[in-house]
Amino acid sequence: MNLQKPPTPELFEKIARMSESAISIFDQSIDIIYKRDFEAANLIVQNAKSAATKLNELTADILQIANQNEISCLSLIIESIKRVAEYSSDIAEIVLNLNIDQIIDRYAHA
């Protein structure tokens, strides 16, 4: 399975931006493991969900403008990018779980 023609420059740019965003979210999720930053973890979860929503919208756009072969190829690329964002959210949720005791203690002693 391969693309018979490259995606339009606009579509390519959208995919590239979403890829860069997913990588950035992933990098941030790795950083917060060491910092154990609860608020940053919450933000990463939100950003990852936002990225997943945008990627779903991009998939819908592709369905409107591409042929069957292009849809298959581009959907695989977009799903891979989406998985990176989702894995980043999973990492951030681990950080949240690791910090829950600290949060409970903070509010119990307040």
Domain-embedded: residue 100: yes
Residue 36 lies in a domain: yes
pLDDT digits (tens, 9 = 90+) for 16-25: 999 999 999 9
pTM of the shown model: 0.82
Q: Is residue 4 part of a domain?
A: no
- The enclosing domain of 101 has a CATH number of 1.20.58.220
Note the helical H segments in the chain: 9-35, 38-65, 68-108
DSSP assigned state of 8: P
* Burial (Cβ within 10 Å: 0-12, 13-18, ≥19) of residue 43: middle
C-beta atoms surrounding 62 within 10 Å: 20
96: in domain = yes
For 66, list phi and psi in degrees, rounded to 5: -115, 160
Angle subtended at Cα 55 by Cα 50 and Cα 56, rounded to the nearest 5 degrees: 100
Q: Which domain holds residue 53?
A: 9-108
Q: Which amino acid is at 48?
A: A
What average pLDDT does range 38-49 have in this prediction?
93
Does residue 43 fall inside a structural domain? yes
Q: Considering its fold, how many domains does the chain have in total?
A: 1
* Residue 105 pLDDT greater than 80, yes or no: no
Mean pLDDT over 38-62 rounds to 92
